Amino acid sequence: MNPDALFPKGVSVVASNRVSSLRLALPNKGRLSRDTRALLADAGYDLTAVSERSLRVRVDDELEVLFVRAQDIPELIQDGLADVGVTGWDLVVESERPLVELLDLGFGRCRLVVATTQDDSATSAMQLRPGSRVATSFPNSARRFFETKRLDMRLVDVSGAAEAAPYLGIADVIVDLTSSGETLRANGLRELETITESTARLVCSKSQAERAEVKALALALESVLRARTQRYLMANVPVRSLERVKAVLPGLNGPTVASVAGDSGFAAIAAVVPEKDVRKTISSLRTLGCVGILVTRIERLVQ
Ligand code: AMP
């Protein structure tokens, strides 16, 4: 990829100091950009003061961030202009670049699907009329899907809003992203099959995957993602109930138990509990006579 294609005139990318720091490519707009920035902030890389219009930011000695279009990130990494990046898996697959997935970030969930009009009798891709026109901005993924099924379709490249193509009479079928399905329904379309399940991923080229800085970034982000789904719970437990309390608190490696000063008849426990189980756990602990129950968020959880 020619770096000049990504940045306005006068912004030099290749000529900057590379030192041994990591160059991270992030989406420059939209939901994916906001969720990624929030994740990085939670991992200690604060980009909140960075304008959405910034192109390049040096976070510290170890990290430089490039803000580019999400669809350019796979190529940018494969060509060595960025070491690592965050983008949608749908775009990685579409790029046909052999990138390494370091981490599934869980957000930006969507699916690339084949959809047809409500009045079409087809209930699967195999039942689509041979030679149907397929509007898509994912030509590589669509071509591969239909080739695998040995279906002869005519692809119509559109740059976006493929959902409007059947209505406009330029296609019979579409291959496009969907999340809630509302846009498909609103355009009189019906999903037939999923081609790619996607979420945002941290990716790098094969040559970067074993680099210590890349692994450290993946570990930092992973520890934040894991912590978001867990809570730290503390409570004072009647010593007589301790064994039963241990049974309701599996924690990471079982609860930590400490004695309480004086002969109070209580022990202090602490454990990591999945967020989804907190309410049920509190209720069980109260039944067992626990007092002073405290639940806090965890910033990072490294395993
Ligand atoms: P939906 O929620 O199914 O109505 O999707 C709304 C629109 O957002 C559709 O046009 C999709 O192409 C697009 N979309 C949904 N999820 C994503 C995503 N994770 N990344 C990019 N585009 C998306």
pLDDT digits (tens, 9 = 90+) for 59-74: 888 899 999 999 999 9
Residue 118 · residue 238 · CB < 8 Å: no
Whether the CB of 88 sits within 6 Å of ligand 1: yes
Q: From the alpha carbon of 183, which atom of ligand 1 is closest? A: 4
Whether the CB of 94 sits within 6 Å of ligand 1: no
Spacing, Cα 90 to ligand 1 middle (Å): 11
Residue 32 · residue 67 · CB < 8 Å: no
Q: Which helix (H) or strand (E) holds 65?
A: strand 63-68
The reply to whether the predicted model has a pTM over 0.75 is: yes
Band (pLDDT 50/70/90 cuts) for residue 3 is low
Q: Evaluate if residue 282 carries a pLDDT over 90.
A: yes
For 232, phi then psi, to 5°, come to -100, 120
Which residue from 73, 86, 110, 191 has its CB within 8 A of the most atoms of ligand 1, so it is best to mutate?
Answer: 110
pLDDT at 9: 47
Residue with CA at minimum distance from ligand 1 atom 20:
108
Distances from the Cα of 188 to the Cα of 118, 176, 198, 282, angstroms: 6, 14, 24, 47
Whether the CB of 236 sits within 6 Å of ligand 1: no
